[in-house]
Amino acid sequence: MADYINIRGQNIEVVASDPANPTQGQIWYNSTSNTLKGLGFGVASWATGGNLATARSRAGAGGTQTAGIAFGGSNSGGRTSATEEYNGATWTAGGSLATGREGLGGCGDQTAALAFGGEAAPGTQNITEEYNGATWSPGGNLPVGKKFMAAAGTQTAGLSIAGFVDPGSATNTSEEYNGSTWTSGGTLTTARYYLAGAGIQTAALAIGGFSPSIVNSTEEYNGTTWTAGGAYPTVRRGNAAAGSQTAAVGFGGSSTSPAAPGMTGLTALYDGSTWTNSPASLSTARIEMPGAGTQTLALAIGGELAPGFSAATEEWTGAGPATKTITAS
- Res 232: pLDDT: 97
Residues of the chain with CATH 2.120.10.80: 46-317
Q: Is the dihedral of CA 272, 274, 275, 276 positive or negative?
A: negative
Q: State which H helix or E strand residue 6 sits in.
A: helix 4-8
Please give the Cα distance from 270 to 328 (Å, whole number). Answer: 37
- DSSP designation for 88: S
Give 86-130 pLDDT, tens digit per residue. 999 999 999 999 999 999 999 999 999 999 999 998 899 999 999
Instruction: Give CA separation, 259 vs 25, 149, 243, 287, in Å.
Output: 45, 18, 25, 8
First to last CA, the chain: 15
Give 293-310 pLDDT, tens digit per residue. 999 999 999 999 999 999
* Averaged confidence pLDDT in the chain: 94
Q: Quick one: pLDDT band at residue 2, thresholds 50, 70, 90?
A: very low
CATH topology of domain 46-317: Neuraminidase (2.120.10)
Q: What is the mean pLDDT of residues 160-185?
A: 97
Q: What is the mean pLDDT of residues 273-297?
A: 97
- Res 1: pLDDT: 41
Q: What is the mean pLDDT of residues 247-266?
A: 95
Q: Could you tell me whether strands 68-71 and 83-86 are parallel, antiparallel, or unpaired per DSSP bridges?
A: antiparallel
* High-pLDDT (> 90) share of the chain, %: 82
Query: Is omega for the bond preceding 307 within 30 degrees of 0, making it cis?
Result: yes
Q: Give the pTM.
A: 0.88
Q: State which H helix or E strand residue 7 sits in.
A: helix 4-8
- Res 5: pLDDT: 45
Query: Is residue 287 over pLDDT 90?
Result: yes
Instruction: Give CA separation, 299 vs 72, 99, 179, 238, in Å.
Output: 17, 25, 25, 15
Query: Is residue 3 over pLDDT 70?
Result: no
